[in-house]
Amino acid sequence: MTMKKFDLAKNKGLKLTNALKQSHSERFGKSAALPDATLDRREQRKQDQAKGLVPFACKLDIKLVAQLQERAAGHPEGMSGLLDELLRGALAA
């Protein structure tokens, strides 16, 4: 019994899909060592959580961001420290 051209193409596609799934699962199934950057980020998150810090994202005007970046460059604690200082001052007023 001969296969039609469509059936051959379908089987070829199924084989390719199967091969991709197997190679994908093998890659993630291996116990690979985590890169140092991942460990550093995890450790940083733990330290931040211990301090009671949480990530906070918002959208700001590009001109305001530029001003904040300029001021944060000279701030000892960087952008986070500058924003903390500015927000605390504004909320206290």
Through-space distance between the first and last CA atoms of the chain, rounded to whole angstroms: 86
What span, in angstroms and rounded, lies between the C-alpha atoms of 49 and 81? Answer: 16
pTM exceeding 0.75: no
Check whether 36 has a pLDDT greater than 70.
no
What span, in angstroms and rounded, lies between the C-alpha atoms of 25 and 29? Answer: 6
Where along the chain do its domains lie? 55-93
CA distances from 34 to 26, 31, 38, 39 (A): 16, 9, 6, 7
The pLDDT tens digits of the residues spanning 42-66 come to: 888 888 899 998 888 999 999 999 9
